[in-house]
Amino acid sequence: MKVIGVANQKGGVGKTTTSVNLAAALAEERCRVLLIDLDPQANATSALGHESIEGHSVYEALLQTGTLADAVVPTRRNNLWLIPGDIHLAGAEVEIARQDDHLTRLRDALVPLREDAPFDFIFLDCPPSLGILMTNALAAADELLVPIQCEYFALEGLSKIDGIVGQIRDSGANPDLHIAGILMTMYMRNNLAQQVVFEVQKHFSEAVFLTIIPRTVRLGEAPSHGKTIFEYESNGLGATAYRSLAKEFLKKNKQATRRK
């Protein structure tokens, strides 16, 4: 089982869109996938057509009053499960910060799931901020997937999150943390986007996915209907791109097996 943090401290880069649709595409490939919504706004939860459920978030596990296994709920898609987000997670930022082990609460809560290995992949959809929830995700993840928008400030944002990863490693909270995948999102065919992709590939080479996610209206509309892009426009550009990403992701993670 592998735990992947989907993170970028900058909002509006397609982070939650990627968390939801990559998880759904892998489930379509018969991998067992758990998506954990760590954002108090619960956007990943609503994008899957779910609502916040009292007692079904990581809040209780972070406060050590419950377990992650008890918070898991099924989605309507085969092979895809969810731990919903809810507004109580905002309070966890304050409550956990007072504790000596505030960086490793989520990592510790994941131990039973790692031992039982009921999933092939667990995705942590991080909030777009450098608070306790995001740092807990970085301390708990085996690796990071970083979506970045094809715009001028992309390299600056990558440099910042690379620095944060270094800080988490140096703190001892997660010595093996690394950026395993960089995903270019919201791509439009213009000179600026092409130059940004070139620069990111030049600086980060093999970490950059070959798949590029286009900017499409349908990808933006799907969450408002509580649907993945595969349910909303199964044969569109967005769905095609995320299916391609899932196949590329699996090539990098060959231990995952397809199930009938």
Please list the rounded mean pLDDT of every run of 10 residues in the chain (260 residues).
92 92 98 97 96 89 94 96 94 84 93 95 92 94 94 79 91 93 91 87 88 95 96 96 98 64
Distance CA 227, CA 21 (A): 9
Instruction: Yes or no: say if 159 and 199 are a contact pair by the CB < 8 Å rule.
Output: no
Q: What is the CA radius of gyration of the chain?
A: 17
Work out the number of other CB atoms within 10 angstroms of the CB of residue 159: 10
Q: Tell me 215's DSSP state.
A: P
Q: Tell me 99's DSSP state.
A: S
Report strand pairing: 80-83 vs 73-74: antiparallel
Fold classified for 2-252: Rossmann fold (3.40.50)
* pTM beyond 0.85: yes
**In the chain, where the domains are located:** 2-252
Backbone angles phi, psi at 62, to 5 degrees: -65, -35
